[in-house]
């Protein structure tokens, strides 16, 4: 792990770059807004920590009422528990003896859960839990339309849930019914239609299980793009939104019911870059490229100077074209970039620099950086 690029008390111009910046005022408003929404809807929030990979952020979410966090990998869960997070769901399949043994060991230190969509995998998880003398909470994952993991709704889910409920060391907690590919459908009605389908499949499955005496205490799913539909459904009771804490440039391209870009949550995560060359004259070159930003959802948006554009990323460079803005960039100037996709951008950094009113207030480690196993 590298030394942090800044220390508390420093001003913005003293931060080394490229640095992953959190604007604390915006970030705290995002946390409070989501907490208020889930409270008003009468559902629980189990925030997704794959977005931030940071125990300090997870504990703030829990301080505002989240019942715990999700993550995608056992190593991520380990890093979060090491950082003091008491309740983690691996909202994903955990396959292989070594991973299952680590999951079971972790369940001896915190409240731990995972998803299953295969009876053989459930049997192995049961064996790992029994060997470690622990209990692992299990959600049976149902494919509610996303076409990734999950058994088919209805009878196949019932069959698997019965196996889980009967397996020593496993606690059947309910259903995982996340519709991932609906989150970035741009149109409001498109997202609504996709989630209507997910709700129908989740409802049918939960009712079937209950009719057979299996209590679905948890029906989980939802992300930042769709959570209002799930929370109003009367079926889902645990939301897994993640990106709302930071809001990347890609999420800001989703449209609301009036056809305008969604503005429920504020951009709170930035990569702060420095102009390192103006030799060309036509454009400025900044010090943040492919190793400081993720490009899977397009280039970063330029927050400051407003109106400028980022292009031509290479390993350690990017071009800022300031022609569309009034700003004339000079060597050493700072450029604020809004990542196209926050989750994989965070995974490129060791530290967050949390700032308020132009001063560094805290630095937080990205505890689960590189925790992809
Ligand atoms: C990524 C993910 C989420 C959160 O999605 P956001 O769009 O980041 O809010 C929720 N649940 C699961 C299972 C996920 O993989």
Per-residue pLDDT reduced to its tens digit, 135-183: 999 999 999 999 999 999 999 999 999 999 999 999 999 999 999 999 9
Q: Is the pLDDT of residue 74 over 80?
A: yes
Phi (first) and psi of residue 95, to 5 degrees: -120, 130
Does the beta carbon of 349 lie inside 6 Å of ligand 1?
Answer: no
Instruction: Answer whether 0.95 is exceeded by the pTM.
Output: yes
Q: Is the pLDDT of residue 325 over 70?
A: no
Q: Is the pLDDT of residue 258 over 80?
A: yes
SS (H, E, C) 254-269: CECCCCCECCCCCCCE
d(CA 217, CA 215): 6
Does the beta carbon of 48 lie inside 6 Å of ligand 1?
Answer: yes
> What's the pLDDT score for residue 5?
98
Does the beta carbon of 223 lie inside 6 Å of ligand 1?
Answer: yes
Question: Probe ligand 1: pick from 185, 240, 340, max atoms within 8 Å of CB?
Answer: 240
Does the beta carbon of 224 lie inside 6 Å of ligand 1?
Answer: yes
> How is the chain split among helix, strand and coil, in percent rounded to 5?
35, 25, 45
Q: Is the pLDDT of residue 327 over 80?
A: no
- What is the C-alpha radius of gyration for the chain, rounded to an integer number of angstroms? 22
Q: How far is the CA of 109 from the centre of ligand 1 (A)?
A: 25
Q: How far is the CA of 44 from the centre of ligand 1 (A)?
A: 15
> What's the pLDDT score for residue 43?
98
Percent of the chain with pLDDT over 70: 99
Does the beta carbon of 254 lie inside 6 Å of ligand 1?
Answer: no
Does the beta carbon of 240 lie inside 6 Å of ligand 1?
Answer: yes
For residue 274, name the pLDDT band (cuts at 50, 70, 90): very high
Cβ neighbours for 211, distance < 8 A, ≥ 6 positions apart = none
Does the beta carbon of 50 lie inside 6 Å of ligand 1?
Answer: yes
> What's the pLDDT score for residue 234?
97
CA torsion, ordered 85, 90, 94, 100, to nearest 10 deg: 30
Neighbours of 193 (CB within 10 A): 14
> What's the pLDDT score for residue 257?
96
Phi (first) and psi of residue 162, to 5 degrees: -60, -45
Does the beta carbon of 251 lie inside 6 Å of ligand 1?
Answer: no
């Amino acid at each position: 792990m590298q030394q942090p690029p800044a220390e508390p008390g420093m001003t913005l111009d003293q931060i080394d770059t490229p640095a992953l910046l959190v604007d604390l005022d915006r970030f705290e408003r995002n946390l409070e807004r989501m907490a208020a929404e889930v409270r008003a809807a009468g559902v629980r929030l189990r925030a997704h920590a794959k977005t931030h990979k940071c125990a300090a952020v997870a504990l703030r979410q829990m301080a505002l009422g989240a019942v715990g966090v999700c993550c995608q990998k056992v190593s991520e869960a380990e890093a979060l528990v090491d950082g003091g997070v008491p309740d983690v769901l691996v909202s994903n399949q955990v396959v292989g003896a070594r991973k299952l043994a680590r999951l079971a060991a972790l369940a001896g230190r915190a409240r731990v859960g995972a998803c299953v969509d295969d009876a053989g995998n459930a049997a192995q998880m049961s064996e790992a839990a029994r060997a470690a003398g622990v209990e692992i909470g299990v959600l049976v994952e149902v494919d509610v339309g996303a076409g990734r993991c999950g058994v088919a709704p209805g009878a196949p889910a019932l069959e698997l849930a019965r196996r889980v409920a009967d397996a020593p060391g496993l606690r059947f907690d309910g259903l995982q019914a996340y519709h991932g590919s609906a989150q970035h459908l741009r149109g409001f009605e498109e997202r609504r239609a996709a989630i209507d389908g997910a709700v129908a499949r989740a409802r049918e499955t939960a009712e079937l299980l209950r009719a057979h005496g299996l209590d679905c205490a948890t029906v989980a799913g939802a992300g930042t793009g769709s959570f209002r539909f799930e929370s109003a459904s009367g079926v889902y009771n645990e939301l897994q939104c993640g990106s709302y804490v930071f809001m990347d440039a890609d999420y800001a391209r989703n449209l609301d019911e009036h056809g305008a870009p969604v503005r429920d949550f504020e951009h709170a995560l930035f990569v702060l870059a420095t102009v390192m060359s103006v030799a060309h004259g036509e454009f400025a070159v900044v010090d943040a490229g492919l190793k400081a930003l993720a490009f899977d959802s397009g280039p970063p948006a330029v927050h400051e100077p407003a109106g400028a554009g980022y292009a031509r990323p290479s390993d350690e460079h990017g071009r800022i074209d300031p022609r569309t803005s009034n700003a004339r960039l000079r060597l050493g100037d700072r450029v604020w970039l809004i990542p196209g996709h926050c989750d994989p951008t965070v995974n490129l950094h060791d530290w967050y620099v949390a700032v308020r009113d132009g001063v560094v207030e805290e630095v937080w480690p990205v505890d689960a950086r590189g925790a992809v196993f």
